[in-house]
Amino acid sequence: MPSLGKALVFCALALSGPARADEVQVAVAANFTAAAKLIAAGFERESGHRIISSFGSTGSFYAQIRNGAPFDMLLAADEETPARLVKEGSAVAGSQFTCAVGKLVLWSATPGTVDGQGEILKRGGFDHIAVTNPKLAPYGAAAVEAMKSLGVYDALQPRFVMAENLTQTYQFVRSGNAQLGFVALSQVLQDGKIEGSTWLVPPNLYPPIRQDAVMLEKGRGKSAVLSFMMYLKGNEAKAIIKSFGYGV
């Protein structure tokens, strides 16, 4: 009996101890970079697990995942790509959910360049406008739809500086290679303030940008991946997401 008692005590101590720390490989849409870094830091403090994030365009990540990239999760800039991965067997059915709703802005790093109604798109007075490749990034597709809705797409197309992802679009405008460009509100909103000048594009001019998360097949069965997905749905993560101007 004494040996059984010792065994029970040992089991109780083992169960009460911390779970084994693990790593979660996450592919993150470029527009979600700042929010994802803060969310990952909070999750790591709370769980002891480690988040290893890669940032880029959703379209590029899709190709990488289909070619066997070792990601456990995808935080996409749309809802179509995760759904497609589920349908094709690269993501886990039933794991997809919307973690943020993106907002598109026309932005210039120079104060006073972009007016509050976006009339500069019709008025002109600039040489280049940065746009993310609509085939790779949902924000680029949204920008194209917005310009078409305004009837300015054909006139502006010769002035496009095409970027591979939103980070590059932001850099084109920030560096002055383009006088203005379409980016995510989250990229230019810092502590509730925006550097430069912006026009918040009315949401009726483009399809909703629902940014979905999904567990990939390489993440199936990993407790750390499931824990991170649950954390993304919690109040702490939602507060961070809202602070960057997203809807939740």
Angle between helices 33-47 and 223-232 (to 10 degrees): 120
| pLDDT attached to residue 19 | 53
Residue 123 forms part of a structural domain = yes
Distance between CA atoms of 129 and 146, rounded to whole angstroms?
14
Residue 218 forms part of a structural domain = yes
Distance between CA atoms of 201 and 29, rounded to whole angstroms?
20
Say which CATH number the domain at 180 has. Answer: 3.40.190.10
| pLDDT attached to residue 189 | 87
Same domain, 136 and 172: yes
Distance between CA atoms of 41 and 230, rounded to whole angstroms?
15
- Closest alpha carbon to 174 in 203, 193, 196: 196
CB-based burial label for 61 (10 Å; 0-12, 13-18, 19+): buried
Same domain, 120 and 194: yes
Same domain, 27 and 109: no
Same domain, 130 and 159: yes
What one-character DSSP code corresponds to residue 126?
-
Residue 52 forms part of a structural domain = yes
Residue 9 forms part of a structural domain = no
Provide the strand spans (E) within 65-151.
73-75, 97-102, 104-108, 129-132
Same domain, 97 and 216: yes
Signed CA dihedral, 234, 240, 241, 245: sign only: positive
Same domain, 113 and 184: yes
Same domain, 138 and 88: no
Residue 193: give the domain boundaries.
Answer: 103-205
Single-letter amino acid, residue 185: L
How far is residue 104 from each of residues 171, 199, 211, measured CA to CA in Å?
A: 16, 9, 13
Residue 1 forms part of a structural domain = no
Same domain, 85 and 117: no
Assigned token pair, 120: 């500069």
pLDDT along the chain (248 residues), means of 10: 40 44 94 94 96 94 96 96 98 97 96 95 95 92 97 97 94 96 91 89 95 97 96 96 91
Residue 10 forms part of a structural domain = no
Assigned token pair, 18: 């911390």
Looking at the structure of the chain, the number of domains it has is 2
Same domain, 152 and 66: no
Annotate 23-39 with b (16+ C-beta within 10 A) or e (fewer): ebbbbbbbbbbbbbebb
Residue 196 forms part of a structural domain = yes
Residue 88 forms part of a structural domain = yes
Same domain, 92 and 122: no
